[in-house]
Amino acid sequence: MKRNPYIFITLTLFFCAPVWAQQSAPELLTVSEAVTEAIQRNPAIISTQAEIEAAGQGVKSARADLLPQITAGYGYTSLQEAPIMKTEQGPLQVAHQYQYNWDVTLVQPLFAGFALSSQLDLAKLDSAARTLEKDQTILDLTRGVHAACYNLLLAQKLLQVSSDEVETLSAHKRDAELFHRQGLIPPNDELKAEVSLADALQTRERVQANVRKAEIRLNRLLDRPLENRIAIADVGDIPEEAYDMAELSTRALEVRPVMQLLDTGLKQLGLAQKIARSTWFPRVSLVGSVDYTGDTLAADENDYSNTNNSFVALKAEWHFWSSGKTRAEVNRVRRQIKALEARIDSMAAQVQEEVRSALLDCQVARKNIATADQALVQARENWRITDIQYRQQVATSTDVLDARTFLTQADTNYYRAVYGYLDAVAGLERAVGDKMDQQS
């Protein structure tokens, strides 16, 4: 039986496509590009945006309460008998037995104890609060993306360090095998090289898994498929930065969304108290109405009374007694205001603490970079000298393995210090509430 080559090619592409997809080069993003994409696509941001739009409709609804309201009605009445009025001369019909009626009424609120205007202001504050909640969500998401990016960068660098270690230990194993065949070193030195290489290979596997974990976390924040391959471009040189503690603390109290949100909540409670007090005032409305009654569908013919009547009236309503409900509601809101003011003081202290703690983290992390960089220079030089000495049989295999361990640790410490500092700066930006201007 002759095989169809196209079927074979199709099946090959079908089964090999997942493998090729996994082996494809990861997409390269900058940290800022990752943050922008997360803000555009993250479900939490989409949810808060929908809440902002809903609050906007609430403002329109509250504004509509200030405008005139028009109602219209139409009715048909069929009486068993024509209505009459008894007189000395006998019964006198006073209305049609079958009646049609329609009316239009307009009500324009004039004064409601400031309740309607306060409700509009309250709706506007609710819309502002939803916007501040979105700002807070963006702030938290940005912090999370920064942490995920720097974690991925660190994992990528540690994978490079681990691969370098495998490469150098492989070369050392080949040297040890050669020296052993020449009778220059004992067998246990060759075994040490093999064991160290095996341990380095296992370490590289773990580091590769950490890279994938870091990619998965970043993909989740970007709302991408978790299996996507992704890489973050390195940040380049890290500039020296100095910040003023007092200025950052003051700025945090001004711009942190959580502080603005609490302040908005305080204003909302003030309006709620005003609305509660509104029942102490009369409610005044302007009312206008047109009424048609007749024995036709259009209600435009009436043999017993006016076909239509209209009026304009000024209506006032005043509730003099509500069993203490209004006073209780006002007192309830007053205590809520007091509680929120205490919470604002507590949050202000917490924000200042976060700023100071984050700034200290930045300062410590920055110093660690200098220390780690100096140690890395020394570890590289120690490795270079020890490797040369081993090739000249001046140093032992143990010396080489120790030097390589020191270099791997120094590399690891340096990259942890660098990306730890960048993460600390991101934490400081989160504590302040936005990007900080560099101070000279």
Residue 218 pLDDT class (50, 70, 90 cuts): very high
Integer Cα distance of 156 and 213 in angstroms:
11
pTM here? 0.78
pLDDT digits (tens, 9 = 90+) for 113-148: 788 888 999 999 999 999 999 999 999 999 999 999
pLDDT given at position 437: 46
Which of 186-190, 223-227, 237-241 is predicted with the least confidence, judged by mean pLDDT?
237-241
Which of 102-116, 366-380, 423-437 is predicted with the least confidence, judged by mean pLDDT?
423-437
Integer Cα distance of 230 and 216 in angstroms:
9
Q: Which amino acid is at 310?
A: S
Q: Which amino acid is at 382?
A: N
pLDDT given at position 436: 53
**Token representation of residue 373:** 């960089």
Residue 221 sits at the vertex; the CA angle it makes with 219 and 223, to the nearest 5 degrees, is 65
Where does 182-289 have alpha helices with state H? 187-221, 245-255, 257-277
DSSP type of residue 117: H
Q: Which CATH superfamily does the domain covering 25-67+112-281+323-432 fall into?
A: Outer membrane efflux proteins (OEP) (1.20.1600.10)
Integer Cα distance of 327 and 273 in angstroms:
10
Neighbours of 55 (CB within 10 A): 19
CA 123, distance to chain mean position in Å, is: 22
Angle between helices 115-181 and 187-221 (to 10 degrees): 160
